[in-house]
Amino acid sequence: MKKYLIASAAILACSQSALAQKANSVEIYGLLDVGIEHVTGVGASGDSLQRMTTSSNTAPSRLGFRGSEDLGGGMKAFFTLEQGIVMDSGVLSQGGRAFGRQALVGISGPGMGALSLGRQYTMTFWSGLGTDIHGGGFYGTGSLDPYLPNARADNALAWRKSFGNGFQAGATYSFGRDSVNAGPSPAGTNCPGEAAQDAKACREWSLMAKYDSKTWGTAFAYDRQHGRSLGTAPDTVFGGLNSSGKTDSRLILNAWTKFGDVKVGGGLIQRKNLGSATRPNSDLWHLGASMPVAPALTLSGQVVTLRYKNASDYNATVMALRATYAFSKSSNMFAQVGHIKNNKASAVALSGGSPGSNPVAGASQTGINIGLQTAF
């Protein structure tokens, strides 16, 4: 009996050791970015506005949890939970979701890439990573296309794979791309889908092919969103996609290169939005560059222009310059100045989705944004 107990204890200890070796590795991470803005030309009177901003400055703030488990044979299980934070008030962004940036679980392995389920980025996001110099912050591409900093889908199945030598590919398919009604707005478009009576309602799918080397890279992506049929008033879907037969599609071509320490990135997003009766077709061009000018100081600039086909009165152009001073690898101070030129029918705000800052049609705006960012 004593020998049996000793043997059992040894087996149990070995089993626990094996399980411990394959236990979840969990990381808590985040990025906090908050600033103060002065922007001109707000409202019908063209007043100036001073405020602590409610949305991103140079990058959206977030808190996340991610982890993985070694399943053996090169297989891994993984998860990500990531919430967006509005830093001036501490509330949640992405329409108030608890984990509005990402909420997914997946599995990966040799030869198969990574397969994940949940709320996650579409391939629009991954195609722009590294090529959009100012990213999803103020005075950038998100000012002229608010989908770009909100390129995520609920109820999504995603696959991404690296093929070696810098080549990557990916795809997403969503059964119901956005179940939150926040406005509706770009962060909550009120398109839940998953309806038995309409299989196409609120579906989303995207594809990506990408190549990156040490000195240059390029990416292609295609992203399509379906609408849904409306019920009774005030039922609405953001963007005018009031039937599942109406789609909002983007064809994306991006590229970047380096000349010594100078990085240049740019791209074209061709959009066909059947939810708009007057201006469904547009091209968004962006070109930017960044350069370190001192060990702790980086300067960058970007031009973004939106051009509608057969509706040039709605065109707009954003120009921005940014200086970033790094206190450490994790913390920095930034200052940026931006300007938007609206054509006579355009009333796009320089600060993008930040509420309460739109000009009247045809008015220009200039803004200054200064703040702090820290990552952990």
Determine contact, residues 104/122, Cβ cutoff 8 Å.
Answer: no
Rounded Cα distance, 100 and 94, in Å? 5
Pairing relation of β-strands 262-273 and 281-294? antiparallel
Q: Where are the alpha helices (DSSP H) in 219-281?
A: none
Q: Phi/psi zone of residue 131: left (φ > 0), alpha (ψ -120 to 50 degrees), beta?
A: alpha
Please give the single-letter amino acid code of residue 185.
S
**Angle formed at CA 124 by CA 123 and CA 130, multiple of 5 degrees:** 100
What gap in Å lies between CA 64 and CA 236, rounded to an integer?
31
| Identity of the residue numbered 192 | P
- Residue 2 above 80 pLDDT? no
pLDDT score at 354: 66
* pLDDT over threshold 50, residue 331: yes
First vs last Cα of the chain: how many Å apart?
53
Average pLDDT of the chain, as a whole number: 92
pTM of the predicted model as reported, rounded to 2 decimal places? 0.91
| Residue recorded with tokens 């839940």 | 192
- Predicted confidence (pLDDT) per residue in 167-206, tens digit: 999 999 999 999 998 888 998 999 999 999 999 999 999 9
Identify the burial level of 80 via C-beta atoms within 10 angstroms of its C-beta, where 0-12 means exposed, 13-18 middle and 19 or more buried. Answer: buried
pLDDT in tens, 59-96: 999 999 999 999 999 999 999 999 999 999 999 999 99
Residue type, 128: G
In order of start, what are the domains of the chain with their CATH numbers? 23-375 (2.40.160.10)
Per-residue model confidence (pLDDT) at position 104? 98
The pLDDT of residue 358: 93
8 Å CB contact between 137 and 56: yes
Confidence tier at 147 by pLDDT (50, 70, 90): very high
Residue 359 in this model has a pLDDT that exceeds 80: yes
Pairwise CA distance, residues 116 & 247, whole Å:
25
The reported pLDDT for the residue numbered 353 is: 65
Tell me: the pLDDT tens digits for 219-275?
A: 999 999 999 999 877 799 999 999 999 999 999 999 999 999 999 999 999 999 999
Percentage of the chain modeled with pLDDT above 70: 93
Residue 122 confidence (pLDDT) above 60: yes
* Per-residue exposure over 291-312, b if at least 16 CB sit within 10 Å of its own CB, e if not: eeeeeeebebbbebbbbbeebe
